[in-house]
Amino acid sequence: MLYLAEVQKQKGGLLSGGGKAELKLLACQRTDQNWSTVSEEVIAAEDASKLNDGALVLVELNPNRQVQRIQEAGRPLVNILQNFSRQLEKFKLKEDEIDQWKQSLTFQAQELNRREMEMEARLEQLQNMEDELHQLEEQKQEVDTSRSEIERLQAEIERNRQELEGAWEHLRGEQRRLEERQADFKQGTVLDEEQSRAMGELLDRLSSRIPPTETVTEHLHLGFELLEKQQAILSPHWEQLQQQKTAIAQQQEEVERLSQILSDRQNVWQQGQNSLAQQTAQLQVNTAELNNKQDYINLLKEQLRNQEDLYQQIHTLAATSGDVVLGQQVDVEALQKMPLEELQKIVQDLQHKLEIDASFVHDQEQELKYKQEAIEELQNKLNQASDQDHINLELELTDEKDLYEMLNSSLVGQRRNMLQHQKFLKQHQNVLLRRQGHTIADEEEGNQINLGPVLLQIETQRQQYSQEIQKLEREIEQMRAGIDLAQGMIDNQTHDLEEKQQELKAIEENLLSLRTATAQCCGRVNLYEEVLQPIQDCLDNLRQKLQGIRESLDQFQETGDHQLQAIAQMRQTLQSLISQPELLAS
């Protein structure tokens, strides 16, 4: 099982080669991504003596709590932290996506509720219109009934008028005969009793032929009452129609106001869109310039890497070849004068240090081997992965390759240092062997080549490249900060434009709804007026006809009174003729 541990060393004597090393267990790996703390336990580990006190290592223990493998924990911890960061980023993206879905669902629910309320309001309006139309139909039926009654009364009045005209003609004939009788009377003709009785009967018949007008007057008043009732029922509808016309006028004013607001805000949004396009174009120019500088700095870094490779190759050549040296040499004369025991101690220390370096390089090479295996495994997974997991695997593969390159680069210098330590140790060992009386067969120190000036020139070029790279990196950092600031401003402006666009959309929807409602109200008012106007015209026509009947009835009443007066005068004349017996005797 794999544990995270801390190296603890106890101080020891110089001859013992250092203190006793122990491992203090801190955490235990449960799964690939799950670590848990453990009770502080200390385990002895001789292999940890070459590590520094307080160093963090990853140690693998067998079931008997014995150390199987130790490696430094720096890179694995970096990997764990990077994986943890990636997981946090993934979780954050998922949370943002969930929040966006929640906002979208909330907006859709609000929109559905608003649509539902509008539908309910429109259904209620339609129901009210149906009720009003039903009432108007009932009123129209009542008006038709009143019209039939008035037409019946008009026909009855016309019949009475015709009868009155016939009676009036008969009265004129009787009056003419009476005048003839009076003319005969003046000539000496005398009415006898039979003729007087006949004249009286004729006058009675004439009086009885004048029809009474009280019934017609009563029906006429009833018609006017029905007409006023219908008008009283119709007047509130006219008032409601006028109110609706006023409301439509107000809605039309609101439509014009919203249209003006929409036009103004569209102009402002278009100006902001143009400004955003200009800023985006400038940002693209700055980004292109940044990319050019980044390409140049990559070229310089490539040159620097080439110089570093050359530098390392020369060091490797100097470390592996006995004919090549790098500046500083072993002071053989000082080693010849040094006490033999001290020289032996120095050789032992150098050998011990070389063993530590060799062990560390070996561990790093094992770690590099594990990284290579992990890269190959991720590559296999990537070849067989689905489209959904392809991006995540590519990111993990890129991170693993970057870690592999970093570890490989650090190993190059460590191998070089180890080779230099080997050569340095070999020089000390040669001096020790000569002082101990042994013969050195391959000792040719007189013909060695010093590559120190070459390395100095390479180092100078490296410094120049480094300075140029630092200068460009500072410029790139400033440009990147400016680009980030510009990008932030563009993002804010884009967000503001999106909000303004949403406001414009809301205003357009409100304007469309208001226009639709106004059109519906106009249609309803027009339909209302189309229904009311024929009924009102019918009532006005009935009122005019009733008024004409009233005038005709007044004339008929006046004519009947005149006829009665004429009959009364004829009776008086006839009575005066009958009351003169001397005329009858003569």
Neighbours of 546 (CB within 10 A): 20
SS3 534: helix
Q: By the 8 A CB rule, do 413 and 286 touch?
A: no
* pLDDT confidence bin for 333, thresholds 50/70/90: confident
R_g of the chain computed on alpha carbons: 63
Helices (H), 187-213: 193-208
SS3 279: helix
Predicted local distance difference test score (pLDDT) of residue 318? 58
Q: Write out pLDDT tens, residues 82-95.
A: 777 787 788 888 88
Q: Write out pLDDT tens, residues 219-241.
A: 777 778 877 887 888 788 888 88
Q: Write out pLDDT tens, residues 486-511.
A: 888 899 888 888 888 888 888 888 88
Q: In whole angstroms, what is the distance from residue 21 CA to residue 42 CA?
A: 10
Kindly give the interhelix angle for 193-208 and 452-578, rounded to the nearest 10 degrees. Answer: 170
Predicted local distance difference test score (pLDDT) of residue 182? 60
Which contacts (CB < 8 Å, 24+ apart) does range 153-162 have?
A: 153/216, 153/219, 153/220, 153/223, 153/549, 154/545, 154/549, 156/216, 156/219, 157/216, 157/549, 157/552, 157/553, 157/556, 160/211, 160/213, 160/216, 160/556, 161/552, 161/556
Average pLDDT over residues 293-299: 87
The residue behind tokens 């520094």 is 52
Distance from the Cα of residue 542 to its chain's centroid: 63
Average pLDDT over residues 94-121: 81
Average pLDDT over residues 126-143: 76
Distance from the Cα of residue 321 to its chain's centroid: 72
Q: Write out pLDDT tens, residues 26-85.
A: 888 877 667 788 777 788 877 777 777 778 888 888 877 778 788 877 777 777 777 777
Q: In whole angstroms, what is the distance from residue 404 CA to residue 374 CA?
A: 10
Predicted local distance difference test score (pLDDT) of residue 148? 77
Q: In whole angstroms, what is the distance from residue 388 CA to residue 166 CA?
A: 110
* pLDDT confidence bin for 444, thresholds 50/70/90: very low
Which one has a higher pLDDT value, 557 or 362?
362
Q: By the 8 A CB rule, do 419 and 295 touch?
A: no
Predicted local distance difference test score (pLDDT) of residue 319? 53
CB proximity list for 80: less than 8 A, separation 6 or greater = 35
* pLDDT confidence bin for 585, thresholds 50/70/90: very low
Share of the chain above pLDDT 90, in %: 0
CB proximity list for 383: less than 8 A, separation 6 or greater = none
SS3 3: strand
Neighbours of 60 (CB within 10 A): 14
| DSSP code per residue over 221-273 | HHHHHHHHHHHHHHHHHHHHHHHHHHHHHHHHHHHHHHHHHHHHHHHHHHHHH
pLDDT above 50 (res 583): no
CB proximity list for 122: less than 8 A, separation 6 or greater = 520
Average pLDDT over residues 152-163: 71
Predicted local distance difference test score (pLDDT) of residue 88? 79
* pLDDT confidence bin for 168, thresholds 50/70/90: low
SS3 187: coil
Q: By the 8 A CB rule, do 215 and 142 touch?
A: no
pLDDT above 70 (res 364): yes
Cα→Cα distances 484→281, 292, 480, Å? 15, 17, 6
The two most distant CA atoms of the chain are separated, in Å, by 218
Which one has a higher pLDDT value, 410 or 382?
382
Q: Write out pLDDT tens, residues 53-62.
A: 778 888 888 8
Predicted local distance difference test score (pLDDT) of residue 13? 42
* pLDDT confidence bin for 445, thresholds 50/70/90: very low
Pairing of strands 67-72, 56-61: antiparallel
Q: By the 8 A CB rule, do 66 and 46 touch?
A: no
Average pLDDT over residues 546-571: 74
Predicted local distance difference test score (pLDDT) of residue 460? 85
Cα–Cα–Cα angle for 400, 402, 403, rounded to 5 degrees: 65
Q: By the 8 A CB rule, do 378 and 396 touch?
A: yes
Cα–Cα–Cα angle for 291, 295, 296, rounded to 5 degrees: 120
Residue 484 C-beta-side C-alpha neighbours within 13 Å: 6
pLDDT above 60 (res 335): yes
Which one has a higher pLDDT value, 158 or 281?
281
pLDDT above 60 (res 175): yes
Q: In whole angstroms, what is the distance from residue 532 CA to residue 580 CA?
A: 72
The residue behind tokens 């094992």 is 366
The residue behind tokens 């053989």 is 332
Which one has a higher pLDDT value, 456 or 60?
60
* pLDDT confidence bin for 582, thresholds 50/70/90: very low
Closest CA to 420 of 336, 326, 347, 334: 326
* pLDDT confidence bin for 366, thresholds 50/70/90: confident
Of 11-25, 401-415, 470-484, 526-540, give the range with the top mean pLDDT: 470-484
Predicted local distance difference test score (pLDDT) of residue 212? 61
Q: Which of 105-114, 288-297, 575-584 has the lowest mean pLDDT?
A: 575-584
